[in-house]
Amino acid sequence: MKQFSTILFLSLWATLFFAQTTVSTTYGPISGSTEEGTLAFKGIPYAKPPVGNLRWQAPQAPSAWTTAKMATAFAPKCPQKNFESTNPDTAIIEGQEDCLYLNVWTPALSGKRPVMFFIHGGGNQQGSASETVNGTLLYTGKFLASRKDVVVVTINYRLGALGYLAHPAVAAASTSKTSGNYGTMDQVFALEWVKNNIERFGGDPNNVMVFGESAGAVNTSVLLTVPSAKNLFHRAGIQSGSPIASPYLLGENFGKSFASRMGCATGTLEQQLACLKALPIDKIIAELESPLSGGKVSLGWGPVVDGLVIPKDPASVILSGQHHKMPVMLGSNADEMSASSPLVVTPAQVRTLFDTQVPEAYEAEGLTLYPPGTTNAQARQSYIQALTDAQFTAPARRLARGLDLFQTEPVWRYLFSHSQAGLGSIYGAAHGLELAFIFQSVEETNYGKGAFYNNNDKVVAKAMLDYWTNFARTGNPNSSGLTIWPTYDWQKDPYLDIKSPVASAEGLRTQKSDYWDRARGVSTSTRQPLSLLGVNMKMPTLYQEGARVSLSLEEDLTLQIEVYNLLGQKISTVFQGNLSAGEHLLALKIPEAARGMLLLRAQAGGRSLGVKIWKE
């Protein structure tokens, strides 16, 4: 009898547990598990597997099911190279094409909580929602959910060529006659799943924060300009990234080059497509290169301006006030490129960096701001800071300014400058270090369990937990007991310095950011960008002999137009003179030797405006 009672009790407990962790989604029931005081649902399919004929197609709804799926383990990551596992030449290929799954952590199934929707980084060619660091899950939602009463969602999305291939053969077979941006479409599709299902997990579909780091930040900022993402999220967190999307022609040429390397560049478009779709995964993934090499960010695969999913250049959309307006928090880390830069950098390498990466007119100034020094240690510090500021600090300021100028919703900027004690201190506040503090997963790392984990780490972890969840809840990161995080003002450039103790300040690396703005041919200082003063420059995306640039001026200007390559090296000056207010059509002669993607930059009175063009 006692044995029977025990069996009955266990049976009733199992039934009750199953009922408490089972949710009926729009596609079918799923059963999760308990985790650190939360309910966790892992490996939820949000789209049909993009395999076979669905390779390089928009995501589609998964087939419905009636029997509860066990959602207790992460799904495989999308196909990629694990560059961190070994050296790039022998990097491990991992993941599978059937990878469009998401994960949810919630304190309870009832109620309406803010939703924190995270997009992982990895150069849009590696990474996953189940990313681990030395065996510790990085993007766990259990701490955010249990400690701050929020719902956390993490997702996988297609990467590399599978996620971003733009190619004429793929476009020809599409009803839209465009190609690319499959990873972006996956992100929107996952947000649609959240809108339709998250209330069943105790979340509020009308209070969704999308945040991402690195390529995830690029994708988050791009989503601010994607029409199909409108009303799917209401706050944005942009960590170490800014809106980047290649012109369609550039993306398509990149795709053609890929197809050629794959042996799929001959025959009709139908034959080329059949060849591409028949490619084995290992062959597609084998040609990927690390997105971080030598401290330089490479985004070969990523969003393209296809005219449909991404109708216009995202940065231009924001700088014309046509983006989805919402509260935004954004920032970067103090030493972004420290972990990916060479361990030994010589003074000569610093000089070479400026010789090859900036226009000649700005080389001397750059070497003054970032002196090569006389030792390798001094050289490496300048090398790291130059690449950090050029690729993260200055772009973060440009994005903050653009948002502040073109929306009434508040913007907050931060600098993460905290570094860990012990051996990790040599890298300072490296790229991605803040993630373990936001997700609180630092506690489960070897560092967090060891003797070096100290009160400074705990101060930073607590602050980031509070700021990020406050922002998700209300659109304002501030609350009682926290150092006040000032809202952004494009003229003062205020920011929160996240370290121990947390502090607020103004003017983050102003002189250096001004320098990179000038060197890169974009708006600088606290003066309004040239485009805001009524200069509109239009140029055919594809340059041909005799192509003309259309200029509309609201005031008389002394104007200079120069052509640069993508390394920032000046090729020539194609116009210099005085122009009166009004409409002008100028014929520009670009040197015959210049080929590929070029930057056309107009300058007047210390202000500038740039457009990208392609020259065959």
Catalytic positions, please?
A: 214, 336
| Amino acid at site 361 | A
CA distance 74 to 42: 5
Query: Which H/E stretch holds residue 514?
Result: helix 510-520
CA 329 to chain CA centroid, Å, is 14
DSSP label at residue 390? I
CA distance 216 to 186: 13
Query: Which of 369, 326, 321, 375 minimizes the C-alpha distance to 348?
Result: 375
CA distance 194 to 117: 9
CA 178 to chain CA centroid, Å, is 23
Query: Which of 484, 512, 126 minimizes the C-alpha distance to 334?
Result: 512
CA distance 259 to 276: 7
Non-local (6+) Cβ contacts of 571 within 8 A are: 562, 563, 564, 565, 590, 591, 594, 598
Q: Are 324 and 225 in contact (CB under 8 A)?
A: yes
Radius of gyration of the chain (CA): 25
| Amino acid at site 582 | G
CA 46, 47, 51, 54: dihedral to nearest 10 degrees?
-160
Query: Which of 50, 70, 69 minimizes the C-alpha distance to 61?
Result: 50
The DSSP code sequence of 148-174 is H--EEEEE----HHHHH---HHHHHTS
Distance of CA 250 to CAs 180, 301, 306, 438, 505, Å?
12, 11, 11, 36, 40
Phi (first) and psi of residue 130, to 5 degrees:
-105, 30
| Amino acid at site 404 | D
